[in-house]
Structure 1
Amino acid sequence: MRRLSTFLTVASTALIATAVLAHAQSGRTQVGVLECRGGPNVGMIVGSVTNLGCVFRSQGRPDDLYTARITKIGVDLGITTETALSWAVFAPTVQLGSGDLAGNYAGVNASAAVGVGLGANAMIGGSQNSFALQPLSVQGQTGLSVAGGVQSLELRPGRF
């Protein structure tokens, strides 16, 4: 029963996040995909901080590297050994330069893992809140955890 409740919480948060971002995307075009990966993370009951290495991929342009720091506020219990996130990136223009995605983002998150887990998160922000990050696929992680709440993403140009 506990697993079903956790799954329903994750699914409902993902649906709400997708609906909010669908509204936020009006007038925006998908310009590429942001993929992030990170190592171990320990949830601290009411929040956590995760550091990730990211790459923005867009057809016809070189990969653009970023470092990311995700701060979660809400329920975050457990330990994960690895995290992978993927977002479709929406922008008001298709003309992006190197480092243009850098900035601060805010959104919602829900995830659960027992061995292998799933999650979803949606973000909006960047320069003048002009970018929307919509889950391209569910978040993948390994470990034992449950998390849900609001989160912020600090995305900076760099290497990972």
Structure 2
Amino acid sequence: MRASLAAVTALAALLAAAPAAAQSSKVQSGMLVCKVAPSIGFVLGSMREAACEFRDVSVQPYVVKSRYRGTFARFGIDIGVLAADTLAWAVFAPTVNPDPRDIAGTYVGVSVDAAWTIGGGTNVLLGGSDKQIALQTISLEGMIGADIAAGVADLTLTLLPN
């Protein structure tokens, strides 16, 4: 199990650095923070509902620019049970103030995580309404549960009314 966790963690670190070239013409416009529901992974994937906020880059106090309903799906190996957790991404866009509708849409990328009581993972996603937005994990996410997962991740964000 330790070797598997080490391999997953190393792969996660490499994947977190991957979108740097794709973001060269983009600026960080904020943070996307999602509170994700608990999940039970099946051999070929999982699906989790999320409540997401697009925030400015301030730590505290931050300003919520827009809210979204999210669905996070993973296709690939996903075996285990995870408690509710919070995922956060730096949002890179062509402008500092993207329209909230530009953040909405479907994102696709890679996702890797492992946990035995506690664990970590990362998700790197590209997409949005015009495929101009990049989401990069701020740090390895923390999770509680028993899970091992790797595969293609899909995040769909639906803009909620103010």
TM-score, normalized by length of structure 2? 0.89
Partner letter of residue 93 of structure 1? T
- The 1-side partners of 2:115 and 2:125 are apart by 21
Identity %: 38
The two structures, once aligned, show a CA RMSD in angstroms of 1.7
| Residue in 1 that maps onto 2:80 | 78
Alignment of 1:21-32 (within 5 A): 21-32=19-30
Q: Secondary structure at the match of 1:63?
A: strand
Give 5+ residue unaligned stretches, structure 1: none
Give the whole-Å Cα distance in 2 for the aligned partners of 1:53 and 1:99: 16
Quick one: distance in 2 between partners of 1:109 and 1:7? 15
Specify whether residues 52 and 62 from structure 1 end up closer, same or farther in structure 2 by C-alpha distance, changes over 3 A only.
closer
- CA distance in 1 between counterparts of 2:113 and 2:97 reads 33
* Cross-structure match for 1:34: 32
Q: Which residue of 2 aligns with 1:108?
A: 110
Aligned counterpart, 2:5 = 6
Aligned residues of 2:101 and 2:129 also touching (Cα < 8 A):
no
Residue deviations 1:96-115 (CA, integer Å, cap 9, x gap): 23343100000000001111
Matches within 5 A, 1:51-66: 51-58=49-56, 62-66=64-68
SS, match of residue 94 in structure 1: coil
Find the residue that maps to 1:16 and give its secondary structure: helix
Task: Give CA deviations for 1:30-55 in whole Å, capped at 9, x if unaligned.
Answer: 00111111221000111011111111
AA partner of residue 22 (structure 2): A
**1:135 corresponding residue in structure 2:** 137
- Does the 8 Å CA contact 1:7/1:112 hold for their aligned counterparts? no
Query: Structure 2: 5+ residue runs without aligned partners?
Result: none
> Cα offset for 1:6?
2.4
Match of 1:98 among 97, 100, 118: 100
Alignment match, 1:16: 15
